[in-house]
Amino acid sequence: MMLARTLSAVLLATSCAAAYAAQGMEPGEWQFTTTTTMPMMQGPQTTTNTQCINPEQAKDPGRALGGDRQGDCQMVSSKHSGDAYTWEMRCAQSGMSGKGTMRISSGTIESEMRMSGTMGGQQMEMLRKISGKRLGPCK
């Protein structure tokens, strides 16, 4: 149960980071592919979803991607330069920490985050990649 909550918080916090790099995201129909890799899983887990991003959401993609709260995880540093955003985060209760990068433009998003820590006496490693592309106007 703790692992599921921690992973959910990590995923939400990662999505929140997109809000800081939101300068170029264009409203419209977007397709997002998320791949999560952990040694304890039977290979990478990939999900793809399509979502209509309205102008308000385009100003804050973190909310559009489900990152309106961070749970246990807190950003401890961040840097924004042009279309690139980097951050570090820590999850106090779970003992996880990580770093991430994101590039965002009007029609694409590319993000990668690595998390690690000890949880329940076990060493945890996670890699999460998100790629997004604008497909056109919302249907």
DSSP bridge partners of 28: 53
* Total domains present in the chain: 1
CA-closest candidate to residue 27, choices 49, 60, 4:
60
pLDDT over threshold 50, residue 125: yes
Which pLDDT score is estimated for 126? 92
Q: CB–CB of 6/120 below 8 Å?
A: no
The Cβ-side half-sphere exposure at 101, using a 13 Å CA radius, reads: 6
pLDDT over threshold 70, residue 1: no
- Which structural domain range is residue 69 located in? 2-136
Cβ neighbors of 59 (< 8 A, separation 6 or more) are: 22, 25
Cβ neighbors of 26 (< 8 A, separation 6 or more) are: 58, 106, 107, 134
pLDDT, one tens digit per residue, over 72-121 is: 778 888 888 888 888 898 888 878 899 999 888 889 999 999 999 987 77
